[in-house]
A and B are shown apart, each in its own frame.
Chain A
Amino acid sequence: MALDGQKTAYKYIGTTPNRPDGLDKVTGRARYGADINVPGMLHGAVVRSPHAHAKIVKIDATKALAMEGVKAVITRADFPEGLEGEDWDLQENCMAGEKALYDGHAVAAVAATTPLLARDAAKLIDVTYEILPHVTDVDEAMKEGAPVIREGAADFSVPEGLHPNVVRYFDSGRGDLDKGFAEADLILERSFTTEAAHQGYIEPHACLGQMGADGRGELWVCTQGHWFMRRMSTAVLGIETTNIRVTPSEIGGGFGGKTTIFIEPLSLALSRKAGGKPVKMVMSRNEVLRATGPTASASMDVKMGMTKDGRITAAHGTFRMQGGAFAGAPVDVTTMLAFANYDIEHVHHIGYDVMTNRPRQAAYRAPGAPMAAFATESVIDEMCRELGLDPIDTRLKNAAKEGTRATFGPKYGPIGFVETLEAAKAHPNYAEPLGPNQGRGVASGYWMNWGGETSASVAISEDGSVTVSVGTPDIGGSRASMALMAAEAFGIPYENVRVNISDTGALGVNEPTHGSRATYASGLATIRSAEECIKKLCKRAADKWGIDAEAVVWEDGRAKPSGPNAGEFPPMTIAEIAGAMGGTGGPISGHYEDSPSGFSGSFGTHVVDVEVDPETGRTTILRYLVVQDAGKAIHPAYVEGQFQGGAAQGIGWALNEEYVYGEDGRLQNPVFLDYRVPVASDLPMIDTVIVEVPNPGHPYGVRGVGETGITPPLPAVANAVRDATGKRICKLPLRPSRVLAAIQGKTV
């Protein structure tokens, strides 16, 4: 590993300067989705179904429209017909058609002069429903006789004879399972469930849309990806994509949940109907929890074989996941990554994507990976216990390395899984003595990362400072990372770089900040754009000196003759070249666009110590360690932040967070008091170790780091609770009542 050599080669990369948007965010000046008001603005409100499954018989808006100040009401009748595929799904989810498909499904929307008036008017819109039987549980939804969410929704992959609610089917593997299990000294099979968890971003969805009768307009919105917003919103409205210019606000968290549309096309449709007046829409927390996200819930069976000395001989997994009333539960990723940490010859995965009467699932940080990890990493832990093996040593024995053929097909390039395991084993947390009712859990996880459509530009200002324009919204400090990479490429101070998140009118299509791709892909595009600028800067210097451009090199923000043969000229700084650029050929800028494929995955290993109160079943996290491969940490403090944030979300999913549906199919806990995310007093400090095994597909070795961190906590916490209590609990969350029942020997 060229780690030490690379570290000294960087001047700015690996430092931790203040983020450029820090001042705005600590003074309250930063403008998020709901923070913009414009002249003539109206306010929107949505009427939502209180039923899990119901035919919409009639919508009567007479009373609402009679209210003074009410300007427009829309229903599905205001949207075009004839959409297909994902566009139809989006339209159906944003505004119900013939049926309301889940508690919280939008059925109408209203625009009025004040927020209160809009909410009052929404209450006066009279919807007549005919209630239908419903199903919200994944296993129930697959059973014969379960209510059918929508006939004919299954695609070609689904074998005959399955319930119509099974809409996609996945079957993949390799080797000979019988042979593999025959080699095992121990075969273990367990069944697991995880509940749906919400992304839980603190900023509810908010937007401000304006559209005229000509179908042209603007959208201000908190989103992870404004080109996605544009494509999806215009598709749902049946207008040309380019007609809407979308500007992203600052974003108050997304975690995958803000990569799709909900209220955005409603604000545009209301605006058009209200004569082009801008319409602001802001969701309540109740709406966020009932109608956006969450992730899928899962029911899983995992069977693995192991030799006495800890070699995994075979693995089989069946994964059933519901993603609400539409196809799209991330079971493809679940099956792909279930055993991806390990070098296993004989492996087989089966996946079912199932529809239920729940909200359409949205991506949530490493979508599909944490559920599978909970099942497989719990089974491995249990096997290590039965065979008396150390969990880290056993993982080391089976760990995927460079050249290992992944369980999902391709061979791994350089990866850092072994390094994370070794660092976890060497960390003092792994040697801390444990007291009574305390236990330690280890688990690992993987996310393959992503490149995605990327377009970025870099422009030189008149004084030699630099503007970077990228299309990936900054959720966790990415502007600082872009500025560091540009500073490194140019050899100019970090403070001389300004990074803007451009709107859809200024760059080519960019995928959202998702898939752990922003620092990798927009960073790559920033560096390549800077390199194009540098080439032009060198050319200007060469022209001035009357030498070939090839005879000029760029070092520390200056053009220099490449050697004595090139001639004797004093170096020209970026400021000197930029100051004269108007007369030497015009503005200097660089641009780069690609769907880069040199991304590389990130492995992580977590070690957690817990104490379980035997009287209440409450689990306290005593210490927590995250070790993860960042490839190269551009801004280490924000890399640590991703590790710590992912761990905290995973701990919440493991211990407290769950969607609770009543017999009536209604969500029982659509409020933060009852949908309980971790608070400051629930957590200890979260220790981190950044492993750096450079990714050869990025100029500085970057791997995405955002998503891996949420994958190990589910099994790590469950393994620690097993260690503390002697009870293996195969259902999440490990809420006190469930843990207490297990301690008391009851079935859980």
Chain B
Amino acid sequence: MSKRIHVSTKVNGDEVDYLCDSRETLLDCLRDHLSVMGVKEGCGTGDCGACSVTLDGRLVCSCLVLGVEAEGKEVATVEGMAEGETLHPLQRKFIEHAALQCGICTPGILVAAKNLLERNPDPTETELRYWLAGNLCRCTGYDKIIRAVMDAAAEMREAS
């Protein structure tokens, strides 16, 4: 086996480190070395978005980033969205709007939607649909997901 590489990074604000093979993806490292299991693998080829995280604030498919690339950076996942007991408005609206059925795509979609609303607090439905076009959902037909995000965005605008 090849020699493992030591990586120090931050996940959801906490300093962590792990030893990884140079071929392992950030997705592998989050799940297998750090037990951050909210990050899901749906395809491994960057097509489904279930593994969406942000890396220094940029939305990425963690299956397309090598584990070693996280060195010195900050990773944010669905596990970091709520503050203590208080859910992020997107999380709350997803439950209220029945915007998930099986729920496997939900973490990735929440991370992607949060990232959009940080850039554009008032997206049109079309802008939202194109932003989320990299996140596959096979259960809902997207209708309730789009409604939940638009509703959360409206609430967040009112609150700010």
- Taking CB as reference atom, which chain B residue is nearest A31? B37
Which of B36, B50, B77, B146 contacts A680 (CB under 8 A)?
B146
A484 to chain B, nearest CB (A): 13
Q: Is the CB of A26 within 8 A of B143?
A: no
Can you list 15 pairs linking A and B with CB atoms under 8 Å apart? A21-B103, A22-B95, A26-B87, A27-B82, A202-B40, A202-B42, A202-B102, A203-B40, A253-B139, A285-B47, A635-B98, A641-B98, A680-B135, A681-B129, A683-B141
A16 to chain B, nearest CB (A): 7
Across-interface contacts of A672 in B (CB, < 8 A): 42-43, 45, 47-48, 136
A639 to chain B, nearest CB (A): 10
B148 to chain A, nearest CB (A): 10
Known: A27-B81, A645-B138, A681-B129. A253 touches B104 (CB 8 A): yes
Q: Is the CB of A680 within 8 A of B104?
A: no
Q: Is the CB of B130 within 8 A of A681?
A: yes
**B44 adjacent to chain A (CB < 8 Å):** yes
Q: Is the CB of B110 within 8 A of A649?
A: no
Which of A27, A115, A641 contacts B28 (CB under 8 A)?
A115
- Taking CB as reference atom, which chain A residue is nearest B38? A28
Which of B1, B78, B134 contacts A27 (CB under 8 A)?
B78
Closest 7 A/B residue pairs (Cβ) = A28-B38, A252-B104, A648-B141, A25-B103, A672-B47, A644-B141, A22-B95
Q: Is the CB of A637 within 8 A of B144?
A: yes
- Taking CB as reference atom, which chain A residue is nearest B111? A28
B92 to chain A, nearest CB (A): 8
**B39 adjacent to chain A (CB < 8 Å):** yes
Taking A28-B107, A253-B104, A475-B101 as given, write out 8 further A-B residue pairs in contact, using a Cβ cutoff of 8 Å, ordered by the A residue number: A19-B98, A34-B40, A35-B37, A201-B138, A204-B42, A253-B102, A285-B43, A641-B144
Which of A22, A26, A35, A255 contacts B138 (CB under 8 A)?
A255
Bound complex: CA of A640 vs CA of B141, how far in Å?
10
Q: Is the CB of A16 within 8 A of B98?
A: yes
Known: A69-B1, A201-B102, A475-B102. A641 touches B139 (CB 8 A): yes
Which of B36, B39, B78, B136 contacts A679 (CB under 8 A)?
B136
Q: Is the CB of A477 within 8 A of B98?
A: yes
Across-interface contacts of B153 in A (CB, < 8 A): none
Known: A19-B98, A645-B101. A115 touches B129 (CB 8 A): no
- Taking CB as reference atom, which chain B residue is nearest A685? B143
**B23 adjacent to chain A (CB < 8 Å):** yes
Mark interface residues in A622-663 (1 if CB within 8 Å of B CB, else 0).
000000000000010110110011011100000000000000
Residues of B71-112 whose CB lies within 8 A of A: 77-79, 81-82, 87, 91-92, 94-98, 100-107, 110
Interface of A is mostly: loop
**A551 adjacent to chain B (CB < 8 Å):** no
Q: Is the CB of B138 within 8 A of A28?
A: no
Known: A19-B98, A202-B138, A677-B138. A252 touches B103 (CB 8 A): yes
A119 to chain B, nearest CB (A): 10
Bound complex: CA of A396 vs CA of B94, how far in Å?
38
A199 to chain B, nearest CB (A): 8
- Taking CB as reference atom, which chain B residue is nearest A649? B138
Across-interface contacts of B100 in A (CB, < 8 A): 22, 25-26
**B140 adjacent to chain A (CB < 8 Å):** yes
Across-interface contacts of B151 in A (CB, < 8 A): none
B57 to chain A, nearest CB (A): 19
- Taking CB as reference atom, which chain A residue is nearest B37? A35
Q: Is the CB of A203 within 8 A of B104?
A: yes
Q: Is the CB of B142 within 8 A of A648?
A: yes
B12 to chain A, nearest CB (A): 10
**B17 adjacent to chain A (CB < 8 Å):** no
Q: Is the CB of B45 within 8 A of A27?
A: no
**A673 adjacent to chain B (CB < 8 Å):** yes
Q: Which residues of A contact B (CB under 8 A)?
A: 16, 18-19, 21-23, 25-32, 34-35, 37, 68-69, 115-117, 199-204, 250-255, 282, 284-285, 475-477, 635, 637-638, 640-641, 644-645, 647-649, 671-673, 677-683, 685-686
Bound complex: CA of A250 vs CA of B98, how far in Å?
17
**B154 adjacent to chain A (CB < 8 Å):** no
B16 to chain A, nearest CB (A): 16
Bound complex: CA of A255 vs CA of B138, how far in Å?
9
**B35 adjacent to chain A (CB < 8 Å):** yes
Which of B45, B95, B147 contacts A18 (CB under 8 A)?
B95
Bound complex: CA of A633 vs CA of B40, how far in Å?
32
Interface centre among A27, A116, A254 (most CB of B within 10 A): A27
Interface centre among A21, A69, A203 (most CB of B within 10 A): A203
Q: Is the CB of B138 within 8 A of A23?
A: no
Mark interface residues in B26-64 (1 if CB within 8 Å of A CB, else 0).
001001100111111111110110100000000000000
Bound complex: CA of A29 vs CA of B97, how far in Å?
20
Bound complex: CA of A29 vs CA of B137, how far in Å?
19
Bound complex: CA of A270 vs CA of B94, how far in Å?
40
Q: Is the CB of A202 within 8 A of B136?
A: yes
Bound complex: CA of A475 vs CA of B100, how far in Å?
10
**B5 adjacent to chain A (CB < 8 Å):** no
Q: Is the CB of B138 within 8 A of A683?
A: no
Q: Is the CB of B38 within 8 A of A476?
A: no
**B11 adjacent to chain A (CB < 8 Å):** no
Q: Is the CB of B130 within 8 A of A686?
A: no
- Taking CB as reference atom, which chain A residue is nearest B95? A22
**B122 adjacent to chain A (CB < 8 Å):** no
**B132 adjacent to chain A (CB < 8 Å):** yes
Which of A282, A677, A685 contacts B136 (CB under 8 A)?
A677
B83 to chain A, nearest CB (A): 12
Q: Is the CB of A203 within 8 A of B96?
A: no
Q: Is the CB of A644 within 8 A of B24?
A: no
Bound complex: CA of A477 vs CA of B100, how far in Å?
8
B74 to chain A, nearest CB (A): 17
Across-interface contacts of B133 in A (CB, < 8 A): 679-682
Q: Is the CB of B45 within 8 A of A203?
A: no
Across-interface contacts of A202 in B (CB, < 8 A): 40, 42, 48, 50, 102, 104-105, 136-138
**B68 adjacent to chain A (CB < 8 Å):** no
Bound complex: CA of A27 vs CA of B142, how far in Å?
19
- Taking CB as reference atom, which chain A residue is nearest B79? A28
Across-interface contacts of A284 in B (CB, < 8 A): 44
**B145 adjacent to chain A (CB < 8 Å):** yes
Q: Is the CB of B144 within 8 A of A27?
A: no
Bound complex: CA of A18 vs CA of B139, how far in Å?
18
Across-interface contacts of B147 in A (CB, < 8 A): 685
Which of B103, B135, B141 contacts A645 (CB under 8 A)?
B141
Q: Is the CB of B101 within 8 A of A285?
A: no
Bound complex: CA of A475 vs CA of B77, how far in Å?
24
Across-interface contacts of A681 in B (CB, < 8 A): 126, 129-130, 132-133
